[in-house]
Amino acid sequence: MLANFLKGSAAAAALSLIAALPASAVDLQFYFPVAVGGGAAKTIEGLTETYMKDHPDVKIDPIYAGSYQDTITKVITAARGGNAPQIAVALSTDMFTLLDDDLILPFDDYAKGEEGKKWIEGFYPAFMENSQFDGKTYGIPFQRSTPVLYWNKDAFKEAGLDPETPPATWDEMVEMGKKLTKTDASGNTTQWGVRIPSSGFPYWLFQGLVIEAGGKLTNGEGTETYFDSPEVIEAAQYLVDLSTKDKVMEPGILDWGATPKDFFERRSAMVWTTTGNLTNMHDNAPFPFGVAMLPEKAQRGAPTGGGNFYLFKGSSDEQLEAAVKFIEWITAPEQSAIWTKATGYVAPRPATWDTETMKDYAKGFPQVLVARDQLQYAKAELSTHENQRVTQFLNDALAAAITGQKPVEEALKEAQAKADQVLAAYR
């Protein structure tokens, strides 16, 4: 008892000593990826600068670590070498991987009291789905996105469709797609009805179809996948049929990176892609375009996507508390509004949308509200233990089905079997 008391007061004395010494700043390392064009990195560095000006006791070193893939590679290799940063932004889907490697800490332990709780509860529930596990919060939503449908109003007009009405259902998308698909005299298609890009990470947009069909890809605990459930097969069949049966989408794997250009070049009248493209579309589309929620089958639906803040083990409590304070600040409405405006990411807190900055922004560019309104139907992005490997099984299966290498059902059954093999160890 006495010893504890002594220890406590010694610590308190030490703390007050530290507080009295302005020179002893807390050093924080902050790794972040950039996945959208433009000055995203500059915006983050600028915000960090502002924070440090107001908080001279904290020194933050923002490290631009490349793509999401580069960032997670660096963070994990650094952490395994005992050199983890305090803060990193990584994909929300990396949560289980980071937990399995025992690298991250829950925010609840550092964002204490009523205020901390209120902060964590202030995010959209759709974004928190893959940020929490076992009652604890391991990720704080930051650069989050969701896929939407962009449509070319001019093309709709030319095809005799109402330029203000996007497809609301799967069937409508096919119907409209057929009207929008144009062929020239020699039989070559010059404009396709719709484009759902499928290179690299086809599972993401595909997950939208799965949710719409009323299905799901995982059990949310990261231990079970349902790749061969009827809804998933239905969704995959619809995707494949778009090219093979309905002929409203270009066959083969469609490149993700070339999608905006394809849209601008009027080769696809409707495209599915991330809200992270809003700013790009807004600046570069040579025709009026609309933004719509993804069409529904059994229900509306879309996955969430993008990156969360994570808090890493291996630092002092003082550093971690300072890190959480910074994250609280940068996700606060004013800062978060600046970030959303600069990048097109969905502001992750309802409060952000009430700021003057966001209101002005939405007035001039009402399309940004679509992503927000879609959030009520959104579900967590596919995420499991050994996430990248399990996801790759699904990616490969989808690619095989899209390119006609394997029948839809067979490809998905194989993927499910492979996933079961890997995940068995975690059940």
Write out the binding residues for other proteins, residues 123-182 only, by CB under 8 A.
145
User: Residue for token digits 């064009």?
Assistant: 37
Q: Which is nearer to other proteins, 200 or 366 (CB)?
A: 200
- Do residues 217 and 225 make contact, with C-beta atoms less than 8 angstroms apart? yes
Write down the least CB distance from residue 256 to other proteins, Å: 8
Q: Which is nearer to other proteins, 254 or 324 (CB)?
A: 254
- CA 17, 23, 28 angle in degrees (round to 5)? 100
- In this structure, the strands spanning 378-379 and 302-303 are parallel
Q: Which is nearer to other proteins, 237 or 273 (CB)?
A: 273
Q: Which listed range, 64-72, 118-126, 171-179, 352-360, lies at the site for other proteins (CB under 8 A)? A: 64-72
Nearest CA to 155 out of 197, 189, 195, 192 is that of: 192
Q: Does 65 bind other proteins (CB under 8 A)?
A: yes
Measured torsion, CA atoms of residues 6, 8, 10, 16, in degrees rounded to the nearest 10: -150
* Binder among 262, 296, 328, 381 for other proteins (CB under 8 A): 262
User: If 0-12 CB within 10 Å is exposed, 13-18 middle and 19+ buried, where does residue 123 land?
Assistant: buried
Write down the least CB distance from residue 367 to other proteins, Å: 15
Write down the least CB distance from residue 154 to other proteins, Å: 16
Q: Which is nearer to other proteins, 218 or 279 (CB)?
A: 279
Q: Which listed range, 227-235, 280-288, 319-327, 351-359, lies at the site for other proteins (CB under 8 A)? A: 280-288
* Binder among 186, 317, 424, 427 for other proteins (CB under 8 A): 186
Q: Which is nearer to other proteins, 111 or 411 (CB)?
A: 411
Q: Does 276 bind other proteins (CB under 8 A)?
A: yes
What does the alpha-carbon distance between residue 332 and residue 349 come to, in Å, rounded to a whole number? Answer: 8
Q: Does 267 bind other proteins (CB under 8 A)?
A: yes
Q: Does 403 bind other proteins (CB under 8 A)?
A: yes
What does the alpha-carbon distance between residue 310 and residue 79 come to, in Å, rounded to a whole number? Answer: 13
Per DSSP (E only), the strands in 297-392 are 302-303, 305-312, 378-379
Write down the least CB distance from residue 51 to other proteins, Å: 21
Report residue 331 as tokens. Answer: 């996700």
Nearest CA to 26 out of 309, 327, 314, 317 is that of: 317
Q: Does 92 bind other proteins (CB under 8 A)?
A: no
- Do residues 93 and 130 make contact, with C-beta atoms less than 8 angstroms apart? yes
- Do residues 150 and 270 make contact, with C-beta atoms less than 8 angstroms apart? yes
* Binder among 74, 216, 247, 349 for other proteins (CB under 8 A): 74
Q: Which listed range, 7-15, 48-56, 71-79, 320-328, lies at the site for other proteins (CB under 8 A)? A: 71-79
Q: Which is nearer to other proteins, 79 or 111 (CB)?
A: 79
Write down the least CB distance from residue 69 to other proteins, Å: 7
Q: Which is nearer to other proteins, 85 or 215 (CB)?
A: 85
- Do residues 154 and 290 make contact, with C-beta atoms less than 8 angstroms apart? no
C-alpha of 229 from chain center: 24
Q: Which listed range, 14-22, 92-100, 134-142, 348-356, lies at the site for other proteins (CB under 8 A)? A: 92-100
Q: Does 251 bind other proteins (CB under 8 A)?
A: yes
- What is the CB neighbour count within 10 angstroms for residue 97? 22
